[in-house]
Structure 1
Amino acid sequence: MGLLGSIWHRLPLSPAMLYLPIGFALGPSGAGLVTLNPHENAATLTLLTEVALLISLFTVGLKLRVPLSDRIWRLPLRLGVLGMLVTSAMVAAIGVTVLGLPLGVAVLLGAVLSPTDPVLASDVQIHDVGDRDRLRFSLSGEGGLNDGTAYPVVMIGLFLLGVEEAKEYGSPMAPLLALWGILAGFGSGFLLARGVVRLALHLRQHYHKALGMEEFLTLGLIAASYGVAHVVHGVGFIAVFAAGVAMRRIEHETSGTKPPAEVIGAVPTGEEPTVATHPAKAPAYMAETILGFNQQLEHIAEFVMVLLLGIMLSETGFSGEGVLVAVLLFLLVRPVAVFASLVGERAGKTQRLLMGWFGIRGIGSLYYLMFALQYEWPMDMKERVMSLVLTAVAISVLLHGISATPLMAHYHKRRQPLVDE
């Protein structure tokens, strides 16, 4: 990718489409150089997918340079909550009626396949910080939210399967527990990040301390917001997304309507400390430096995750049920979920259609699959769900990867600017 990156970006393909067949070729169905059974390595794979997901969530939050009071936030909020619930319910219904799965397995399958992942098709996510395009903003924000909002539904599925650790989600208090997890997660991550960023900027501007080490500040914020959210029984994924949003809000409050790059200006070699301590430029410099670092981490995480997906799929084999579920998910469930969740909202017909198509499945689905495999439930059901989910995610990588560039190019040519874009 280092040698072919500039060429690759001109092709109507996503990098994930290259990583997936390489992973498959390395696995048992190919050269047999790597063996990776998802069930036997569930704990390790859960950790790897968790780290990759946290990196992508913080990055997405850091790109959304729009005040939380802005009406445009209603779009990703509706997609990330209502759309996720509709998707989970419809996939669960397909699992029971079409696939003949037990209710617990069907609910778990619906929850695992409900999160979206715009990282795996970069053409559909926010390009430039401050981008207010309804389509890209909605898909990016949805991907930042529904990886966390899906957690309570996963736990309900595990409860129905008799998992002891999920028993709280079988009580009458389950809806309040889920609501608290979402609100506490967002609140704790947002407030913690604002405090840490404000402290770092204060030390820089008044004492010329805490300079450099943005990489450590990034990883520290991700880890601290995730950990604090768990302490207060919030959803950690939402907290990390909120931490990225909070950092961007501080930059936006200082920079105003000017783009961060314009605020920072040219930075001559050796003048970085001057810019990093400048009252008007410091927030923008910090946010953009951290965003640049996180995007590099995100590219590596994407490579690792899709490579592992190919290896695991090579181990489990393709699933005919997975193909069927993928077809129903992308052509029926996703469009219905989008149109149902956006009733009454301002979005053009083309935007709604493209939102209905770009329900990309990726790291979030892999994480929840591995998370669920760590618990005790029927092995035959585990093997069935493993192959089904891996097949559906692989199909998403291929279909959405090859369609993203031409569809988005066509969209931008025909798009009519809206009043607030």
Structure 2
Amino acid sequence: MSFAGWSAVIGAVLLSLVLLGTLIGRLPLSSAMLYLGIGWLLGPTVLGVLTPDPVRHAALLETVAEIALLISLFAVGLQLGVPLGDRRWWLPLRLAVISMACMVALVACVGVVALGLPLGAAILLGGILAPTDPVLASGVQSESGVRPDRLGFSLAGEGGLNDGAAFPFVLLGLALLARPSAGPPLHWWTVELLWSPLLGTVLGGALGAAMGRLVVYLRARHREAVGLDVFLGLGLIALSYGLAQLCNASGFLAVFASGLALQRVSEKPIAHSPPLGAAEEVEGHSYETLATHSHHASATMRDSVQLFNGQLEKLAELALVVGVGAMLAYAAPLPAVWWFVPLLIVVLRPVSVLPAIVGERLSLRQAALLGWFGIRGIGSIYYLVFALHHGLESRIADVLVTLTLWTVAISIVVHGLSAQPLMRRYLVRRD
């Protein structure tokens, strides 16, 4: 298709979403479900406008999915305002480590026993499907502030952490496929599993905190570095990811940590300087006045970065989920889909959550919702095309493509339909 044709299609889709936005908001549907349907219509099955073959175009799709994942991780980090020393972080951390490792092991067992996959491919499938998505489950997003609801905060925190924590298991699966007789190499234990996540988190957190404090100091004390908050968010994403990768650290965890650190930057007001007034009065001041006032510089910076990054996140979600809908045409007719996907969503996810919530004093309702809302999305698509780009045997590639695409698609639909009613009932009973 020509550039003019692509321009017309993209413009029509974006303007239709704007015009129908209010109507869509009244329906019990998530935006991701709509994007998935658009992708299916534009894909080879119907119109044939989009033909994103995940095997042939693995390199391009890997880049697109990687960018979308980085944007979403930074956005989630910006939304989580709970202090790092708060005990509320303990549950998402356990979910991202213990629950994810259990999910990899459970999926690997199913892959070897029921699907007949070699061990490396089974672990690779587990690594691809283990991470949850904090963005697509918009109906269970965490409330803002330092004391959000524990359920929403835990699900968002888990999604932000385990997208990076799943990477070592994907690499392990690829290594075992290359050398089936070898066990996990020493490099994997020391670098990929331990050093990379730790260094990425520390590096990203340090960059986010340092850059945020520097910008706030320059604005509040010297009225410099004002504006271009768009570049601040994009620059932090690029710098933290790039430096982490150069240091052989986890770029995904670095970006997530940089968003967390930027969210926590605060400025000590200049002594004896008065605030601008009550919240409703603050809104009447210009951006430059707020951005350079010592009482409001940090909050103005965070809000501005978060506003732009939130819009960018919506575009990234649209692009990738539309791509998933179009890629469904390339899924092989594998009968195992009809039992594997329900098994993963209804059985394996809740079972994997159980070891992580022991001793957390959750209500039965909270535990059940944590087990249910394990939506799969951008992270799984990225790890799938990452593995395809590194080369897989055709039979293994067909199994991984089919099971991953249908798991993500069905997860988007069933979790999208159930998010609003289940969370509405939960919040009413909680209040």
CA contact (8 A) 2:213 2:266 kept: no
Paired position in structure 2 for 1:140: 156
CA contact (8 A) 1:38 1:370 kept: yes
Paired position in structure 2 for 1:258: none
2:291 to 250, 264, 276: 276
Aligned-partner Cα distance in 1 for 2:139–2:179: 39
- CA spacing shift, 1:249–1:370, aligned 2, 3 Å: same
Paired position in structure 1 for 2:189: 175
Paired position in structure 2 for 1:203: 218
Q: Deviations over 1:69-119 (max 9, x none)?
A: 100000110001111100111011111111111111100000000010021
Paired position in structure 1 for 2:14: none
1:59 to 75, 79, 86: 75
Aligned-partner Cα distance in 2 for 1:251–1:366: 36
The one-letter code sitting in structure 2 at the alignment partner of 1:159 is: A
Question: If the length of structure 1 is used for normalisation, what is the TM-score?
Answer: 0.92
CA contact (8 A) 1:79 1:142 kept: yes
Aligned-partner Cα distance in 2 for 1:350–1:250: 35
Q: Deviations over 1:233-262 (max 9, x none)?
A: 2101000000010011114998xxxxxx97
Aligned-partner Cα distance in 2 for 1:367–1:14: 21
Paired position in structure 2 for 1:363: 378
Alignment pair present for 1:328 and 2:343: yes
CA contact (8 A) 2:216 2:267 kept: no
- CA spacing shift, 1:163–1:308, aligned 2, 3 Å: farther
Paired position in structure 2 for 1:241: 256
Displacement of 1:365: 0.1
Paired position in structure 1 for 2:55: 39
Aligned residue for 1:120, secondary structure, equals coil
Displacement of 1:231: 2.1
- CA spacing shift, 1:324–1:206, aligned 2, 3 Å: same
TM alignment of 1:263-412, pairs within 5 A: 266-268=282-284, 271-316=286-331, 319-412=334-427
Aligned-partner Cα distance in 2 for 1:253–1:64: 21
Q: Deviations over 1:294-352 (max 9, x none)?
A: 11111111111110000111233564323322111111111011111111113221111
CA contact (8 A) 2:267 2:295 kept: no
Runs (4+) off by over 4 Å: 261-265
Alignment pair present for 1:49 and 2:65: yes
Aligned-partner Cα distance in 1 for 2:387–2:266: 38
* Structure 1 residue ranges without an equivalent (≥5): 255-260, 417-421
CA contact (8 A) 2:120 2:174 kept: yes
Displacement of 1:354: 0.3
- CA spacing shift, 1:263–1:246, aligned 2, 3 Å: farther
Displacement of 1:179: 1.1
Count residues with an aligned counterpart: 406
Aligned residue for 2:61, secondary structure, equals helix
Aligned-partner Cα distance in 2 for 1:28–1:317: 14
- CA spacing shift, 1:319–1:392, aligned 2, 3 Å: farther
Q: Deviations over 1:17-39 (max 9, x none)?
A: 11112211211211222222101
Displacement of 1:375: 1.2
CA contact (8 A) 1:126 1:140 kept: yes
Aligned-partner Cα distance in 1 for 2:333–2:212: 46
* Structure 2 residue ranges without an equivalent (≥5): 1-16, 270-276
- CA spacing shift, 1:13–1:253, aligned 2, 3 Å: farther
CA contact (8 A) 1:319 1:391 kept: no
Aligned residue for 1:170, secondary structure, equals coil
CA contact (8 A) 1:88 1:114 kept: yes
Which deviates more from structure 2 when the two are superposed, residues 193-202 or residues 245-254?
245-254
CA contact (8 A) 1:309 1:394 kept: yes
How much identity, in percent, do the aligned residues show? 47
Paired position in structure 2 for 1:419: none
Aligned-partner Cα distance in 2 for 1:7–1:339: 39
Paired position in structure 2 for 1:414: 429
The one-letter code sitting in structure 2 at the alignment partner of 1:210 is: A
- CA spacing shift, 1:163–1:279, aligned 2, 3 Å: farther
1:18 to 27, 34, 39: 34
Which deviates more from structure 2 when the two are superposed, residues 195-204 or residues 108-117?
195-204
Aligned residue for 2:265, secondary structure, equals helix
- CA spacing shift, 1:73–1:252, aligned 2, 3 Å: farther
Paired position in structure 1 for 2:130: 114
Q: Deviations over 1:371-421 (max 9, x none)?
A: 0001123122112211111011100010001100010001001115xxxxx
Displacement of 1:291: 0.8
